Amino acid sequence: MNLLPWFQWCEESGLGRAVRESVWAFAVIESVHLLALATMGGAVLLVDLRMLNLGLRQRPVAELAGEARPFQNAALIVLVLSGLCLFASEATKCYYSVPFSVKMVTLVVATLFTYTIRRRVAFSSSDSSDSTRIAVALVSVTLWFIVAASGRWIGFSG
């Protein structure tokens, strides 16, 4: 299945043209995207570090996860919306970009992992063994690091 025509359509859409032709739009949207990534990363990392017993030890994991969840959810929404705008402005470049493919695959896996397995372990931390919590936290940190690093890699490629 050849997706190139769809990528080209995205780039030639009104959104793609508007972002691409504006002097400031890409920079502003990318700044918002990076702020959302920092918020998402902070919310995820706080809970993951607690699951690794590396911080906030006086707080139960489930309580911390519950308090971080609204920030995580809002950040994910902003990440996706701003990412779509950035993508639309250079979709054809993204089609040929290995880092873009890595980011998209890892983003899907990281999001599914975060909202299923990690969520289950974080909210039932008393039922989970230390080794399970540690493994889940390490996988979570690794996945989100790959998302961020491959996103940065997109800027340095092609």
pLDDT band at 1 (very low <50, low <70, confident <90, very high): confident
| pLDDT above 80 (res 128) | no
CA torsion angle 52 58 63 68 (round to 10):
-60
Q: How many other CB atoms are there within 10 angstroms of residue 131's CB atom?
A: 8
The domain limits of the chain are 4-156
State percent of the chain over pLDDT 70. Answer: 97
Identify the residue with better confidence: 157 or 87: 87
Residues 6+ apart with CB under 8 A from 154: 94, 97, 99, 100, 103
Report the C-alpha gap between 117 and 113 in whole angstroms.
Answer: 5
| pLDDT above 80 (res 108) | yes
Helices (H), the chain: 4-12, 14-21, 25-51, 61-89, 91-95, 98-113, 119-123, 130-156
State percent of the chain over pLDDT 90. Answer: 83
CB 122 within 8 A of CB 51: yes
| pLDDT above 80 (res 35) | yes
> pLDDT digit string (tens) for 43-99?
999 999 999 999 888 999 999 999 999 999 999 999 999 999 999 999 999 999 999
The angle at the Cα of 122, spanning 116 to 55, to the nearest 5 degrees, equals 135
pLDDT of residue 127: 64
Taking CB atoms within 8 Å and a gap of at least 24, the contacts of 23-30 are 25/85, 25/89, 26/86, 26/89, 29/82, 29/85, 29/86, 30/82, 30/86
